[in-house]
Structure 1
Amino acid sequence: MQKSLVIVESPAKAKTISQYLGHEYIVKSSIGHVRDLPTNNSKNKDKIKDSILIPKKSNKKNILIQKMGIDPYQNWKAEYCILPGKEKIISELKNLANQVHYIYLATDLDREGEAIAWHLKEVIGGDLSKFRRVVFNEITKRSIEKAFKNIGHINMNRVRAQQARRFMDRIVGYMISPLLWTKISRGLSAGRVQSVAVRIISEREHVIKNFIPEEYWQLNVSVFSKKKEFITINVTHFQNKKFCPIKKSEVDCAIKKIKNSFLIVQKYEKKTCFKTAPAPFITSTLQQYSSLVLGFSVKKTMFLAQKLYEAGYITYIRTDSNYISKRAVKKVRMYIQNHYGNDYLPEQPNLYSNKKYSQESHEAIRPSDIQIKKINLDNLNSDAQKLYTLIWNQFIASQMTPMKYESIIITVIANKFKLQKSERIIIFKGWTEIVKEEKNVTSYCPNLVIGSLLFIDKFLPVQKFTKPPPRFSEASLVRELEKKGIGRPSTYAAITSKIQERGYVNIKKNKFYAEKMGEILTIRLKKSFSELIDYNFTASMEHKLDKIAKNEISWKNVLNSFFYDFSKNLEQAKQTPEEGGMEPNIMVMTSIDCPICCKKMGIKTAVTGVFLSCSGYNSEPKKRCKKTINLVSLNELNRNKKDKEDIFLTTINRCKKCNMAMDSYFINNKIKLHICGNNPSCIGYEIEKGIFNSPSYLSQIIQCEKCSAEMTFKTGRFGKFFICINQNCKNTRKILSNGEISEPKLEPISFPNLLCKESNAWFVLREGVSGIFFAANTFPKSRETRSPLVEELAQFQHLLPEKIRYLSNAPHIDNEGNKTIVCFNRKTKEHYIGSKKEGKFTNWSALFFNGKWCVNSK
């Protein structure tokens, strides 16, 4: 029998699918994309199609086109390159393709998957009549068998939509970046969608910084009936107007008047209400709920969801459709009836409409088999189980009856004052039996008689302050992007990750903070590329991509229109500010003297943060002074202190030139520098002298443990650190999140007698963020790593420094004779000893305490 080749993206997916297909199918993985537009690491240029011919005498324009791999001036010709490391995979797939009758491209069913299928077809080549396209929404036997009975061909319209998005993103990234490097700072880049996300966070940052909290009061009164039934009720109105006291004196006056009044129950409204079940998850809601309920980042959620999908546990994860197949609905209804009873089963299945910008027709995210509640943890971890449980519960709840509750509103009159109390009492849990809903719910509310008197127990005045809008969390940012129609389900994880990686925003305690460079970049792009980061424009472009996928408009027409407008804006932005060009990121001079050459220092902003730079840097090369002083943001320190930000907002300095909120920084424990938030457009700054409770590391003198030279404080893209001033050493020590300076890193120790299994290399003992580990001495050529066995450390105890020698004295075996290994607790930053049996950790462990090893065996 002739064999067929099935190609998927991931090895895990290939392994799952091969279980359901017969021996006549060979299932292989491409491990994601096999080719793309050129990158700095591209090696083999695939010029099978659409290649760009670059003249020998290349100007800047041609060089840029060559780097981008697309030519917008020549009908969007494209040059694709084989991705580094994919040569062997392609060679293997080509060899197998020559031996089989059919080639089934079974990549994911979204546009990205369609594009991967097309690239595979182009790269493998040969007899094109062999190629078939198969798609499935879930990796189950039934779904796969059904897919292979309904084979099709690559949807080129979807491929073109993916290419149009890729080309536009490429144009923006490659053509704006050189301008940003010239005008603002080296290392910057812009993204067509990412820059819009930075704008959302940056504008919220602006609102928060300039928010002035205002005092107001809330007056609650604890009252009781004749039957001694107590309730707390809120004073809401005075003389039929909303009661909003802003001073304590107004509250005191109200208390006096209410004390001298009769409190009479005017209304007791009770009505039965229903709250319908929530829809099953789509990509964005899964990301939001996972963040809120489990505390997972968007990136982590999508990683775990992908693993669950590839293992066959859930349906496809990139969707914005609430549709559920009839078969899945039938099965879940049977499950509800059998496990919860008829009271929890609605007469007809619950139907959910899609959102405004929904574009996909496949299903919402649900379990592939409703009977599976626990996943196999051999290849997945406990976090994957938590996410699966979240998906399973949401899907079950989505087909259950509404929650039934009583809504009670009590209105009390006290002379000219109105007091109100709202309560919700659950009568029937419905879907909340499985997905908890506990907002404003009580188990009891007294049944007060209209016209009856209430008696005052005590007054409960509460001082409050108005608050700015909350900072975006990952969940709320995704919700905002979805609401504005920016991006698509498959792009949210990339958006939230990239804006952090590029240093434009920072995330602390699951809240986004705009960095100064992110704010400057947003202001400059809004002025010079207003349309590019306009919310409506970005959303309308998503709709155009949808239309390309449906073959309703030409993809090249969309690209041409975009490029025409973009090019005009780009040329204008290159001009001087006087000619309407992009405003440069100038250095704002201060009165602070350089400690090296005594010239004045200026405020500069780069991707690494805000710092002081000597004006002598612009002198002749021989006289150039390179002195810089890193600043520690007082704003950032407040992020790490619980409930400090509200206090910070009330004490914030304001610029005397433009009244903008100022950013505050420590130079050292004796000097603070307040810089206008509009810097560098505004040159306002203030120097404050005194004795301040600054971070201890600002006043510490650190000596390099390698060369004994002094180490100096620096702020980098990935945090704060000390670096040796000796140019030949450049040793670094990281500053931990608690403000302490990390211990010196262990020098790599060679163990030539311990050979690697995957290569001819030997092991070297290294230290990383997860403690000590063995790594191949030929890294990165060989990336083999593993945890050290205690018996290995004991054998070579003479090689170990004092810092870790105690590990070699730990037990070599556990109580069942299994060999012990060195482990690391990332929370406590301490090593401990564990053991494994058949590749899995046992319950045995040993901790080093008071100079002794203490065994813990469950």
Structure 2
Amino acid sequence: MYKSLVIVESPVKAKTINQYLGDKYIVKSSVGHVRDLLSNQSKKRKKKKNSFSEYYQKQFIVQKMGINPYKNWNVEYHILPGKEKIVNELKNIAKNVDRIYLATDLDREGEAIAWHLKEVIGGDSSKFIRVVFNEITQHSIEKAFKNVGQINMNRVYAQQARRFMDRIVGYMISPLLWEKICRGLSAGRVQSVAVRIVVEREEEIKNFIAKEHWKINISFLTSEKKNIVLELTHYKNKKITLNNEKKVNLIIEKIKHQSFYVTDRKDKILYQKPPAPFITSTLQQSSSLHLGFSVKKTMFLAQKLYEEGYITYMRTDSFFLSNHAIKKARNYIKNYYGNNFLPIKPNIYLNKKYSQEAHEAIRPTDVEVTTINQNRMSSDAIKLYKLIWNRFIACQMKSKKYKSIIIKVITDKFKLKTSVNIILFKGWTKIIQKSNIITCNFSEINVGDILFIEKILPTKIFTKPSPRFNEASLVRELEKKGIGRPSTYASIITKIKDKGYLKIENNKFYATKIGAILINQLKKCFTDLVDYDFTARMEKKLDQISDNKISWKNVLNIFFENFSKQFEQAKKPPEEGGMANNITILTNINCSICNKKMGIKTAITGVFLSCSGYNLKPKERCKNTINLISLNDANLINKDNMTIKKLKRKCEKCHIIMDEYLINDKLKIYICTNSPICTIFYIKKGKFESPIYLSKTLYCEKCKNNMLLKIGKFGKFFMCVNKMCKNTRKILSNGEIAQPKLEPIPFPDISCIKSDAWFVLREGISGIFFAAHTFPKSRETRSPLVEELAQFKHLLPKKLHYLADAPKTDKEGNKTIVCFDKLNKKQYIASKKEGKFTGWSAFFVKNKWLISNKS
């Protein structure tokens, strides 16, 4: 018993830490969680006959959840499927060591994993030691192993309280939603609040009415022919409001008869402080804005950078920086930028009031590492690292210094104003470029200067609704409202994207009809669940549990008592105040199969017409449906560079704008936004322009049968009518039908390196690639060489022949490979030497291969 066992969460993290610990330590990975709540998936239980008794319903719910809120929150955990081998290995090693260091992540989730590992491994509890570090460097690890501790059970209780509440909401409400609204729905304690934010913004945009207003700028010349443009701000000492062209023309006529001269000039020296170092939310927002990365991708790349030892822990809401890190940053600034960019004292950033942990902000572990070798990390990870590095160095630099000049012109009737900012010292913007400072000079314009009108420039403007959320702005809104925590933002965004309550177009969130119905019913029946303040207060209570200020079971008891009352009421029939049913609204359109009336139905796949014969007995049931093409998003048109709103039909009962759908090129239907609670609809006949994909008859390229338009959870697509075929074709955002997928092409003469398999050419979202034919047993993949495609050109379809005809080598004889341009969604070729890209590339333009100028 001469070695110690160190358990971390990630295999990559284990490999990195192993470099810094000596032979006396065995470093192993748990690969995340090893244990979770027992569920109906992990242990099947048979349903009893007395299923309608209240006692049985409670017991059945308890069995499904794995927790018992009726018996002091008794809990039943189980080893996660596939983790048995890992657990057994850890147990066997634990028997032969004198100490077990639990080195999982330093947030609540990491603390809970450490506790679960201790419980699973068992044995002498005195052998278990908790060790945490904010960065994977030798300095940090050595310091951490000198300052070890025990598992913080209060943080474990906070994690369990959150997990138990989430399990209760998900497992109890979901069956109710299936029964009352439609199959496939679910609710989440935090996810539903996030969906509500998007739904309410959607309603605001849909009912927004653009208002016209005007702005008048006047271009003046001084007697020295210097130009200055001022904006008209006041008329007769009142702020001017111009909402029609007639008023504008009257004002312009009066302006023409006025004399103007500069009456006031103010010059101020101002400073702009550098931005704070990154925390989780600001990293996600900045990564989205500057790099175009999703929240999920940002956190994935940040995790890799952390595990490889390049950055500090990436789940944090603290702006704190260690003295060691600040000293390193200041030395770097002094050596590379000079004392002129170094403030006298370090810049200190205060944490928010409810910052969860006393972690550090996200920063590079070593400021001397300005970039990363491409062999170790992907190009996207390198970009993210540079973003983090720039922000950290900038946060310790001097403020930006600039002069603000405000010039005013006042007559007896009018007031005009303009302002400009002149950079005097770049400061932190030396690293982070900002374009909001205009380098213009008003030095020769002074009080008393006479101004001569050169041009009057009226501009017509329409008010705009609040913008739709993207991932970054939604994270910012969640943070602003105190909903969620750094460790949960990515999972919240991922879950609401996958559920079908929202759709994404051009990186913007749009609420679906079923999402709106879900939120409206939850607001009615489960007021606390989707209440912003309640959710934020619950996050603060979880923080208080972590700090041992309140009892975790008391928090759960109060939550469950209130939730149960609302749940019991929601189960009742609608006429008794229960949750409303998602009814089918019958129309006067006849079914083309059985001649019964078609009805308006909303499901997770969207709004469609369903035959009323669907509710008959199975043998008599009619399953005919008609897809409705939503025209709701096309309510803004562009005319003369001005956005104006089309006149939309309003519901005669609710007096709100109705949703608009196309049935076919001769029928259009208007449905009240409040449906199915409101049953008002209108059908309009005429000749309507239909999307491109509706005007085409599509045949399956595999079996030559017809393909029918379908609407699924993730949008519209065509599916082959042959159930044995199951071939599909996507509909692109521009309305075009996607090209047929490339069928896997065997290349038995090209062998894998890591196994005895051979390669198959496949097509994915990032173009063509080679994959082992034994997938998933062997997951080996790589990009094909151009010479390989040329050798087996006879196996390729015609659409890929251009790749086989590409240059096989660059000018220096290095072999070329097929790559994919994510921005333009096109294949191109590049060359590699000793596993590294050479910088040479070529693109297929107008049926020719052109070598890039950058090569």
Sort the TM-score into its range (normalised by shorter chain). over 0.9
The code of the aligned residue for 1:258 comes to I
Q: Which residue number in structure 2 is paired with residue 188 of structure 1?
A: 185
Amino acid at match of 1:296: F
Aligned to 1:382: 379
- The match for 1:469 among 457, 460, 466 is 466
Are the equivalent residues in 2 in contact too, given 1:638–1:644 (CA < 8 A)? no
Deviation at 1:102, TM superposition (A): 1.6
8 Å contact 1:669–1:699 — kept in the other structure? no
1:424 aligns with 2:421: yes
Determine if contact 1:229/1:446 at 8 Å carries over to the other structure.
no
Alignment correspondent of 1:681: 677
Q: Distance in 1 between matches of 2:388 and 2:457?
A: 43
Matched residues in 2 for 1:604 and 1:54: separation? Answer: 32
Distance 1:440 1:793 in 2: 52
Counting only pairs closer than 5 Å after superposition, residues 781-800 of structure 1 correspond to structure 2 as: 781-788=777-784, 800=796
> What are the Cα deviations for residues 618-665 of structure 1, in whole angstroms up to 9, with x where unaligned?
2332232211111222234679x9899984634333223322112222
Q: CA deviation at 1:68?
A: 1.7
Matching residue of 1:352: 349
Partner of 2:568: 571
* Residue 359 (structure 2) aligns with: 362
Which string of whole-angstrom CA distances, capped at 9 and with x for unpartnered residues, describes residues 553-600 of structure 1?
Answer: 111111111111111111100111111101111122222222222322
Instruction: Give the deviation of 1:100 after TM superposition.
Output: 2.1
Gaps of 5+ in 2: none
Are 2:239 and 1:247 aligned?
no
Does residue 496 of structure 1 match 2:493?
A: yes
Q: Map of 1:794-833 to 2, 5 A cutoff? A: 800-801=796-797, 804=800, 821-826=817-822, 830-832=826-828
- Residue pairs, 1:676-715, within 5 angstroms: 676-715=672-711
Whole-angstrom CA distance in 2 between matches of 1:811 and 1:260: 71
Quote the Cα distance in structure 2 between the aligned partners of 1:308 and 1:520: 41
> Taking structure 1 as reference, are residues 839 and 346 closer, same or farther at Cα in structure 2, changes over 3 Å only?
closer
- The letter for the 1-side match of 2:19 is Q
Per-residue deviation, 1:543:
0.9
2:666 matches 1:670: yes
Show CA shifts across 1:93-119 (max 9, x none): 222222322211111111011111111
Mapped to 2, the partners of 1:644 and 1:78 lie a distance apart of 64
CA deviation after TM superposition for structure 1 residue 336, in Å: 2.1
Q: Match of 1:541?
A: 538
The answer to whether the 8 A contact 2:420-2:440 is kept is: no
Aligned to 1:66: 63
Pairing partner for 1:635 from 598, 623, 632? 632
Determine helix, strand or coil for the equivalent of 2:263: strand
Cα distance in 2 for partners of 1:580, 1:709 equals 50
Shift of 1:818: 6.0
Question: 2: CA distance between counterparts of 1:157 and 1:296?
Answer: 35
Offset at residue 253 of structure 1 (A) = 0.6
Higher mean C-alpha displacement, 345-354 vs 537-546: 345-354
SS in 1 for 2:61: helix
CA contact (8 A) 1:209 1:649 kept: no
SS at match of 1:109: coil
Give the drift of 1:842: 4.5
- In structure 2, the partner of 1:653 is 649
Q: 1:325 to 1:236 in 2, by over 3 A?
A: same
2:263 maps to 266
Are the counterparts in 2 of residues 258 and 415 from structure 1 also a CA contact under 8 Å? no
Contact 2:236 2:412 survives alignment (8 Å)? no
Relative distance call for 1:153 and 1:220 in structure 2 (3 A) is: same
* Aligned counterpart, 1:204: 201
Partner Cα distance (2:777, 2:230) in 1 = 70
Where does residue 35 of structure 2 map in the other structure? Answer: 35
Matched residue count: 850
- The one-letter amino acid of 1:652's match is K
Partners in 1 of 2:665 and 2:711 — Cα distance?
17
Q: Does 1:456 align with 2:449?
A: no
Q: Which residue of 2 aligns with 1:731?
A: 727
Q: Is the 8 A contact 1:168 1:559 kept in 2?
A: yes
Q: Shift in Å at residue 188 of structure 1?
A: 0.6
CA shift, 1:839, in A, is: 3.6
Classify the secondary structure of the residue corresponding to 2:117.
helix
Per mean C-alpha deviation after superposition, the further-off stretch among 60-69 and 317-326 is 60-69
Tell me if 1:305 matches 2:302.
yes
Q: Please say if residues 461 and 642 of structure 2, whose CA atoms lie closer than 8 Å, have aligned partners that are also in contact.
A: no
Q: What TM-score does the superposition give when structure 2 sets the normalisation length? A: 0.93
CA distance in 2, matches of 1:845, 1:432: 33
Q: Give yes or no for contact 1:813–1:820 (8 Å, CA) kept in 2.
A: yes
Counterpart position of 2:547: 550
Distance 2:568 2:191 in 1: 22
Stretches of structure 1 lacking an aligned partner (at least 5 in a row)? 46-51
Give TM-score scaled by structure 1 length: 0.93
Q: CA shift at 1:134, angstroms? A: 0.8
Decide which moves more: 106-115 or 677-686. Answer: 677-686
Asked if 1:747 is matched to 2:743, the reply is yes
Q: Which amino acid aligns with 2:734?
A: N
Task: Report the equivalent of 1:25.
Answer: 25
Residue aligned with 2:187, SS: coil
Deviation at 1:746, TM superposition (A): 3.2
Give, in whole Å, the separation in 1 of the partners of 2:196 and 2:699.
Answer: 42
Q: CA deviation at 1:767?
A: 3.2
Partner of 2:398 in structure 1? Answer: 401
Moved more, 833-842 or 615-624: 833-842
> Which one is further off, 135-144 or 288-297?
288-297
Output the CA distance in 1 between the equivalents of 2:316 and 2:59.
39
Q: Secondary structure at 1:621's aligned position in 2?
A: coil
Q: Report if aligned partners of 2:635, 2:646 keep a CA contact under 8 Å in 1.
A: no
Inter-partner Cα distance in structure 1 for 2:640 and 2:503: 18
Contact 1:667–1:673 (8 Å) recurs in 2: yes
Contact 1:773 1:786 in 2 (8 A): yes
**Of the candidates 335, 339, 342, which is equivalent to residue 338 of structure 1?**
335
> 1:748 and 1:840 mapped to 2: Cα distance?
28
Find 1:177's aligned residue among 152, 174, 199: 174
Cα pair distance change 1:619/1:854, threshold 3 Å: same
In 2, Cα distance between the equivalents of 1:340 and 1:826?
Answer: 36
**1:158, 1:549 within 8 Å by CA — same for their partners in 2?**
yes
Indicate the residue corresponding to 2:716 in structure 1.
Answer: 720
Q: Matched residue of 1:702: which SS?
A: coil
SS of the aligned residue for 1:293 comes to: helix
Moved more, 816-825 or 6-15: 816-825
Query: 2:645 is paired with a residue of what secondary structure?
Result: helix
- Seen in structure 2, the aligned counterparts of structure 1 residues 753 and 224 have a Cα distance that, compared at 3 Å, is closer
The change in CA–CA distance for 1:445 and 1:798 in structure 2 (over 3 A counts) is closer
* Cα 1:776–1:349 shift into 2, 3 Å: closer
Mapped pair 1:319 → 2:316 = yes
The match for 1:153 is 150
| Partner of residue 12, structure 1 | 12
Instruction: Describe the SS at the equivalent of 1:623.
Output: coil
> Contact 2:210–2:644 (CA<8 Å) still a contact in 1?
no
Does 2:149 match 1:163? no
Instruction: Indicate if the aligned counterparts of 1:835 and 1:842 stay in contact, CA closer than 8 A.
Output: yes
Give the direction of change, closer, same or farther, for the CA distance of 1:845–1:404 in structure 2 (3 Å limit). closer
Deviation at 1:758, TM superposition (A): 5.2
1:49 match: none
Contact 1:426 1:443 survives alignment (8 Å): no
Distance 1:805 1:284 in 2: 46
Of 492-501 and 689-698, the range deviating more from structure 2: 689-698
Q: How does 1:566-645 map to 2 (within 5 A)?
A: 566-636=563-633
* SS of alignment partner, residue 622 of structure 1: coil
Distance across 2 between alignment mates of 1:197 and 1:633: 24
Which amino acid in the other structure matches residue 420 of structure 2?
A: E
Once residues 810 and 146 of structure 1 are traced to their aligned partners in structure 2, the CA distance between those partners, rounded to angstroms, is: 55
